[in-house]
Amino acid sequence: MAVRTLKRIDEYRMELPETYAPGMKVKGVIYLDEELERGLEDKAIAQVANVAMLPGITGASMAMPDIHMGYGFPIGGVAAFSMDEGIISPGGVGYDINCGVRLLKSRLTRQQVSPRLRAVLEALFSMVPAGVGSKGRLRLSRQELEKVMTDGARWAVREGMGDAGDLERTESGGMMEGADPSLISMKAYERGSAQIGSLGSGNHFLEIQYVDEIYDEEAARKLGLSRDQVTVMIHTGSRGFGHQVCTDHLEVMERAVRKYGIELPDRELACAPVGSPEARDYIRAMRAAANYAWANRQAIMHWTRQAFMKAMDPGPEGLGMETLYDVAHNIVKIEEHPVGGRTVKLAVHRKGATRAFPPGHPELPAIYRETGQPVLVPGDMGRASFVLLGTRRAMDETWGSTCHGAGRVLSRHEAVRRAKGRSIFRELEDRGIIVMSAGRETLAEEMSEAYKDISNVVDVVQGAGISRKVARLRPMGVLKG
């Protein structure tokens, strides 16, 4: 009989030994300090253990300090599977395929933007649609949408929305090869045709920020960050398109589980062997949705620049707004990692986790080869966000992965209940943060108390050595769905 014991390894790590639950093939590791441990959900722990039972899992079933319960895999989950005996699971990516973050840096200062902040937000609100079911400014034909699926952010740049510098500073160059539009359902086409360039709702946002703290002066200089500098963070993904791709392929995977005789502790972990037709089809469709998300953030970035130009009138050179980096939070990638003294290919699932490759990694653009990969970690709209860098320890310990955000502590329903009778707009404005939103309920769902303190989460990954702090960004103005 298994002994269900969660053990603390050190100040920043906890372990679920293989004896934690029957069927575990590897241990579980959760990155938490004692303060964050107090909020750890039993269901999220169970999900870490469940992932450890999947065929071909390699190393450990891991979760970052922003862990909370998700669909199948926990949010914050990281797991790698062998190409010979492993599986591909849509639950290890999630419904919002390539939900991610893009950070723009500028030549503007907090002092320059503050007097015009409301005008900038109004311009953004008019140019970047947000909210449930929101549609972008473009209407794409089927042929155009297929180009988005195969070319990602490169399609947007060809259409005049950005330049080659944006692509260089985007994970995977803003495009994953091997996407196959023929695997996309008509319903996904319908949902995706009108949503390029839109934020959506929920935890997605566009935030005007300023750099208020620098922890590593040399690294910040190399990234082009300085105190009081204005930045813009864009957090969104593949919208209804990616959601439909996930839905369609989960149905296929549920049949595949029976076909291949895979035993699962939870049906939400529906999967198929890596080399199976079902897994190959999902990977190609997922890449199409990932490319859609990169095109979406590229288009939003373009209209963000236009909004600042309209409201600030600084001239293109004065604005100096360019991509610092763009990262994916929900994705599966075939990557090379050392295992048992040799380099092997693995199917690395990151579900609410950020790639954090170290200095010198060949996949990094030349401009970041010396520093390591920028890691962008958004917090809630009332506190802060962070810029980190990837480390060698992350490569050795977590398949080059780290946290992706703050992580919820309240359900959306509970957050709305606790916000009853309060004005979240007013509370934020009293703290110097102007918010524009398509709906009041979204603000209640996304209030600061609904999330862990991002500073605690970042301190854990820094303390564990799987990424290192460079700068803290404070919110000035927020656009929400």
Query: Which residues are tagged catalytic?
Result: 404
Longest dimension (CA), the chain: 69
User: Closest Cα partner for 322 from 262, 367, 280, 263?
Assistant: 367
Residue where the block lists tokens 């149905």:
251
- Judge whether 86 and 274 are in contact, CB under 8 Å: yes
Tell which phi-psi region holds residue 330, choosing left (phi > 0), alpha (psi between -120 and 50) or beta: beta
Distance of CA 165 to the CA centre of its chain: 21
DSSP 74: P
**Per-residue DSSP letters for 416-438?**
HHHHTT--HHHHHHHTT-EEEES
What value, to the nearest 5°, has the Cα angle with vertex 32 and ends 357 and 271?
65
Identity of residue 48: V
Q: Where are the beta strands (DSSP E) in 237-279?
A: 272-273
DSSP 275: T
User: Closest Cα partner for 341 from 406, 396, 280?
Assistant: 396
As a whole number of angstroms, the distance between CA 312 and CA 133 comes to 30
Q: In a 10 Å sphere around its CB, with 0-12 CB exposed, 13-18 middle and 19+ buried, how is residue 206 labelled?
A: buried
- Judge whether 294 and 174 are in contact, CB under 8 Å: yes
As a whole number of angstroms, the distance between CA 53 and CA 453 comes to 31
User: Closest Cα partner for 263 from 478, 55, 17, 417?
Assistant: 55
- Helix (H), strand (E) at residue 229: strand 229-236
3-class DSSP string for 353-388:
CEECCCCCCCCCCHHHCCCCCEEEECCCCCCCEEEE
